[in-house]
Structure 1
């Protein structure tokens, strides 16, 4: 499916007592998404909460709305953004509660070992590439695997990430994703392509987003924006 929704047509134009005061249904019919993003940014920067870069937010909200409109996810599902334009020494994963604009989770996340060292620079959909994939994913079921409690992901962009399940690209905890690994090596450790989280917070994240929420992975890849217009039906 092609994302035909106009950028900035997601969310809201009422604001009262520092909270968003319209329903999700009203937000989704609003044409003033830029106003919502301004509020989200101002609300969270006032709390000294770092945010993804604006282009990542814009693409994330565009795809999030398209997924709601296509009934891929529900209207109250959280939105997860991973911004791989940032180095692994920064917390570059966010979970946003869309109705309130609150950041409800912010954490470190690893990238694939063949995507780069400190920065993720190369991306792939190919099995055994050991690279991260970009784009929109739907969170799926949980399971107990070799990394403990884990979350399966289904990529919904043809040729970009639709082999995620075949590649066993999942969310899991890993000791190499902990902050002390940065202190020892100057970067996080790397996965075989999975977005790996610190061991002490991965369970919390998985329980927040499991079972049909949106996870968007962004990077400064000039080829991605055009490719991101295609969603798997």
Structure 2
């Protein structure tokens, strides 16, 4: 099945209207999580929390859902995926993750929602069911952002383990192995991570892409909705 949305080329920006003040959203939780994961980028995590709060406020996510952040602005040779338990305000996993072969080499630069692009997608995803496929134990995801990642299920953009996600080999060759667009993990941890985040949790794939940041409905929630969610969140 081919997605109707066209591929997009990412344009990095330092600050956008959508991202301005994102660190103020769920500030106590942001600070607590940053203390647990000091290498995470505060802007990326702030946006992830903002998107999560909007998804909860709009009924597209459960308040108790955990949150996975993938920061594609980091090189593939570094850990750039974090799984956060928001209820206990702790980090469950910090992992390397692959991007699509046409998204870039060591650094990701281009993203798409189009079938056959072999590029990764940005934005907020809801995790879905696990299954066993050609890549072994895997987990489907549903993209929640029209035109940005809503073709994820049709494109089979899933989380799975892969032998090419090898941090030691990445240091030798200058980049991690690449997927066909999936955020692939180390085989040693993939099943455990999938079982932690499957069935109704959230994944936020970040890159400072101006068009996406300015248009994402999850980064432009009414402040009263966000305040209502924040008032029910621990911390």
| TM surpasses 0.5 | yes
Return the match for 1:215 from 198, 203, 217: 203
As a proportion of its length, which structure holds more helix? 2
Q: Does 1:64 align with 2:57?
A: no
CA contact (8 A) 1:170 1:195 kept: yes
5+ residue gaps, structure 2, are 1-17, 220-235
Q: Distance in 1 between matches of 2:84 and 2:218?
A: 24
Q: Does 1:41 align with 2:41?
A: no
Q: Distance in 2 between matches of 1:64 and 1:70?
A: 10
Cα distance, 1:103 vs. partner?
A: 0.6
Match of 2:71 in 1: 83
Match of 1:192 in 2: 180
The 1:155/1:184 distance shift into structure 2, 3 A limit, reads same
The within-5 A match list for 1:93-112 is: 93-112=81-100
Q: Which has the higher contact order (CA 8 A, sep 6+)?
A: 2
Q: Secondary structure at the match of 1:197?
A: coil
Return the match for 1:158 from 122, 143, 146: 146
Aligned length: 200
Q: Secondary structure at the match of 2:69?
A: strand
Return the match for 2:110 from 122, 125, 128: 122
Cα distance, 1:7 vs. partner?
A: 4.4
Q: Distance in 2 between matches of 1:86 and 1:9?
A: 23
TM-score normalised to the size of structure 2? 0.80
Q: Secondary structure at the match of 1:150?
A: strand
TM-score normalised to the size of structure 1? 0.81
Cα distance, 1:69 vs. partner?
A: 1.9
Q: Deviations over 1:172-194 (max 9, x none)?
A: 10011122321441210000000
Q: Distance in 2 between matches of 1:202 and 1:192?
A: 17
Q: Distance in 1 between matches of 2:168 and 2:30?
A: 33
5+ residue gaps, structure 1, are 11-32
More displaced stretch, 111-120 vs 215-224: 215-224
Q: Distance in 1 between matches of 2:113 and 2:51?
A: 19
Runs of 4+ in 1 over 3 A off after TM superposition: 6-10
Q: Does 1:173 align with 2:166?
A: no
